[in-house]
């Protein structure tokens, strides 16, 4: 075989021949449209790599048991995802060099094509664990159904259906994370150990008692600092305590799933609370990295929405949505809800329930 060349390795002959747009000939395109095509293609390439990294992270985490030394690999893949998300959010600046009026010169011929049909973006959301039921619909149609309805027999249409069908059949990062969190040793006890349910229940009730105790001591001081009545502050705190209890007892979850979900939540709470224990160092690092994935995805959506507002104002999108209002609504999506919720109820170290079986959390 001949020595490899840069151009053959990267298939540059094919890659650089893919920017012809609907005309199939880039010479017929004005430079603004070539810019528009290249920016979108660059994003889709980054999405492709993101999907690969997310699947690798998910596969490690979905194993029936995840040894401590595997967690750095999960974190490694997710950190790459985070850097890509950070970079692509910045990339919208390049798109913004398209002026609103120049975009109008070719916008209408794109209708009804839209980023709304980016099947890799939907795949990414699905692999992370966004439920169809939680998505904002377009005229009552869920975004993925929308793509499947539009997908014809064209090569792109077939690819879209193939990608989405595959993603929907897979375990999401969210479910893999739940399985892993479920097995977290809480106060030294793991699922399957004698009395595990009682140990977890005891930890949760000690934790709630510590939260109430801490609030009691603070109500007067808070009230005078914010010039409110102690009664009003107590009411707010009591609402927060009810929320904490509902969350930790998994009252929002169907009864059949409640014990499992309660243990998942106890697991996150335990890792976040006793995060300095040697054996919890990587698990908390992993949780931080997953929170960052979601934070960066929200920032990506927000950045896209602001860019869209700058370029097309409040017009409807070429895909038929309300445009910026639709995009802003998607910034409310949260996939890793437990990781966010636990932040509201964390206690300072000195107020935490006493740790038992500390020796089990040291390095072997
Ligand atoms: C001038 C440039 C752009 C404009 C005016 C624009 C506008 C819009 C609008 C209005 C929507 C909502 C759906 C619709 O009704 O069409 C949308 C969705 C979307 N756009 Fe863009 N966009 C631009 C560039 C980009 C770029 C560079 C990307 C990178 C891949 C992108 C990715 C997406 C994605 C993934 C969605 C679906 C969002 C969701 O449903 O969560 N857009 N875009």
Q: Which domains does the chain have, with CATH numbers?
A: 26-192+277-361 (1.20.58.480)
Separation of alpha carbons 179 and 261, rounded Å: 10
CA of 28 to the centre of ligand 1 (A): 24
Residue from 115, 117, 128, 145 whose mutation best tests the ligand 1 pocket (most atoms within 8 A of CB): 115
Take atom 19 of ligand 1 and give the residue whose Cα is closest.
115
Residues forming beta bridges with residue 189, ordered by sequence position: 186
Radius of gyration of the chain (CA): 25
Q: Which tops the pLDDT comparison, 302 or 67?
A: 302
Q: Are 313 and 291 in contact (CB under 8 A)?
A: no
Which residues does 103 contact at the CB level (< 8 Å), separation at least 6? 32, 36, 311, 312
Q: How far is CA 216 from the centre of its chain?
A: 35
The predicted model gives 349-364 an average pLDDT of 91
**What is the pLDDT at residue 277?**
95
The finding on whether 39 has its CB within 6 A of some atom of ligand 1 is yes
Q: How high is the mean pLDDT of the chain?
A: 95
The finding on whether 85 has its CB within 6 A of some atom of ligand 1 is no
| Digit-coded pLDDT (tens) for 192-203 | 999 999 999 999
The finding on whether 311 has its CB within 6 A of some atom of ligand 1 is yes
**What is the pLDDT at residue 105?**
96
- For residue 76, CA distances in Å to 83, 120, 175, 282, 288 come to 11, 22, 19, 11, 12
CA of 150 to the centre of ligand 1 (A): 17
The predicted model gives 269-291 an average pLDDT of 96
Take atom 33 of ligand 1 and give the residue whose Cα is closest.
115
Q: Which tops the pLDDT comparison, 121 or 226?
A: 121
CA of 114 to the centre of ligand 1 (A): 6
| Digit-coded pLDDT (tens) for 56-91 | 999 999 999 998 889 999 999 999 999 999 999 999
Instruction: Output the pTM of the full model.
Output: 0.95
Ligand 1 atom, smallest distance to 330 CA: 41
- For residue 347, CA distances in Å to 266, 273, 336 come to 14, 7, 20
> How many CA within 13 A on the CB side of residue 174?
16
CA of 106 to the centre of ligand 1 (A): 15
pLDDT score of 345 more than 90? yes
The predicted model gives 186-211 an average pLDDT of 97
The predicted model gives 324-344 an average pLDDT of 97
pLDDT score of 121 more than 80? yes
pLDDT score of 30 more than 70? yes
Ligand 1 atom, smallest distance to 136 CA: 40
Take atom 23 of ligand 1 and give the residue whose Cα is closest.
308
Residue 21's pLDDT band, with cuts at 50, 70 and 90, is: very high
pLDDT score of 227 more than 90? no
Residue 153's pLDDT band, with cuts at 50, 70 and 90, is: confident
| Digit-coded pLDDT (tens) for 255-273 | 999 999 999 999 999 999 9
The finding on whether 353 has its CB within 6 A of some atom of ligand 1 is no
| Digit-coded pLDDT (tens) for 34-49 | 999 999 999 999 999 9
Q: What is the 3-state secondary structure (H, E, C) of the chain?
A: CCCCCHHHHCCHHHHCCCCCHHHCCHHHCCHHHHHHHHHHHHHHHHHHHHHHHHHHHHHHHCCCCCCHHHHHHHHHHHHHHHHHHHHHHHHHHHHCCCCHHHHHHHHHHHCCCCHHHCHHHHHHHHHHCCCHHHCCCECCECHHHHHHHHCCCCHHHHHHHHHHHHHHHCCCHHHHHHHHHHCCCECCECCCCCCHHHHHHHHHHHHHHHHHHHHHHHHHHHHHHCCCCHHHHHHHHHHHHHHHHHHHCCCCCCHHHHHHHHHHHHHHHHHHHCCCCHHHHHHHHHHHHHHHHHHHHHHHHHHHHHHHHHHHCCCCCCCCCCCHHHHHHHCCCCCCHHHHHHHHCCCCHHHCCCCCCHHHHCCC
The finding on whether 118 has its CB within 6 A of some atom of ligand 1 is yes
Residue from 116, 135, 137, 310 whose mutation best tests the ligand 1 pocket (most atoms within 8 A of CB): 116
If we measure between CA atoms, which residue out of 330, 300, 296 comes closest to residue 95? 300
Could you tell me the sign of the dihedral formed by the alpha carbons of 134, 137, 143, 147, in that order?
positive
If we measure between CA atoms, which residue out of 8, 6, 364, 64 comes closest to residue 192? 64
**What is the pLDDT at residue 285?**
97
Ligand 1 atom, smallest distance to 114 CA: 16
Which residues does 87 contact at the CB level (< 8 Å), separation at least 6? 46
pLDDT score of 364 more than 80? no
The finding on whether 211 has its CB within 6 A of some atom of ligand 1 is no
pLDDT score of 363 more than 80? no
**What is the pLDDT at residue 353?**
97
pLDDT score of 22 more than 70? yes
Quote the crossing angle between the two packed helices 31-61 and 71-95, to the nearest 10°.
Answer: 170
The predicted model gives 356-360 an average pLDDT of 93
CA of 124 to the centre of ligand 1 (A): 15
Ligand 1 atom, smallest distance to 47 CA: 30
**What is the pLDDT at residue 138?**
82
Residue positions counted in the chain: 364
CA of 318 to the centre of ligand 1 (A): 9
Take atom 39 of ligand 1 and give the residue whose Cα is closest.
116
CA of 95 to the centre of ligand 1 (A): 11
Q: Are 317 and 146 in contact (CB under 8 A)?
A: no
């Amino acid at each position: 075989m001949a020595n490899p060349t840069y151009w053959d390795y990267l298939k540059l002959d094919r890659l650089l021949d893919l920017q012809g747009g609907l005309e199939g000939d880039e010479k017929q395109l004005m430079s603004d449209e070539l810019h528009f095509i290249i920016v979108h293609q660059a994003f889709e390439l980054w999405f492709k790599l993101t999907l690969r990294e997310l699947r690798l992270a998910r596969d490690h985490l979905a194993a029936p048991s995840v040894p401590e030394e595997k967690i750095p690999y999960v974190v490694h893949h997710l950190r790459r995802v985070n850097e890509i998300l950070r970079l692509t959010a910045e990339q919208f600046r390049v798109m913004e060099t398209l002026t609103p009026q120049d975009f109008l010169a070719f916008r209408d011929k794109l209708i009804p094509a839209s980023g709304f049909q980016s099947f890799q973006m939907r795949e990414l959301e699905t692999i992370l664990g966004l439920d169809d039921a939680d998505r904002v619909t377009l005229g009552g149609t869920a975004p993925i159904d929308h793509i499947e309805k539009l997908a014809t027999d064209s090569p792109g249409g077939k690819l879209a259906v193939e990608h989405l069908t595959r993603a929907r059949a897979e375990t999401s990062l969210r479910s893999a994370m739940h399985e892993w969190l479920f097995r977290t040793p809480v106060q030294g006890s793991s699922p399957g150990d004698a009395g595990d349910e009682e140990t977890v229940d005891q930890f949760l009730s000690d934790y709630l008692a510590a939260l109430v105790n801490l609030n009691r001591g603070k109500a007067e001081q808070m009230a005078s600092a914010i010039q409110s009545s102690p009664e009003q502050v107590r009411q707010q705190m009591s609402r927060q305590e009810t929320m904490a209890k509902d969350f930790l007892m998994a009252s929002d979850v169907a009864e059949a799933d409640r014990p499992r979900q309660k243990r998942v939540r106890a697991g996150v709470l335990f890792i976040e609370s006793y995060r300095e224990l040697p054996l919890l160092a990587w698990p908390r690092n992993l949780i931080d990295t997953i929170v960052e994935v979601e934070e960066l995805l929200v920032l990506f959506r927000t950045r896209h929405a602001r860019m869209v507002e700058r370029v097309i104002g409040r017009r409807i999108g070429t895909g038929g949505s309300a445009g910026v209002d639709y995009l802003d609504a998607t910034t409310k999506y949260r996939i890793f809800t437990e990781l966010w919720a636990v932040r509201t109820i964390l206690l300072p170290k000195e107020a935490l329930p006493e740790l038992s079986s500390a020796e089990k959390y040291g390095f072997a």
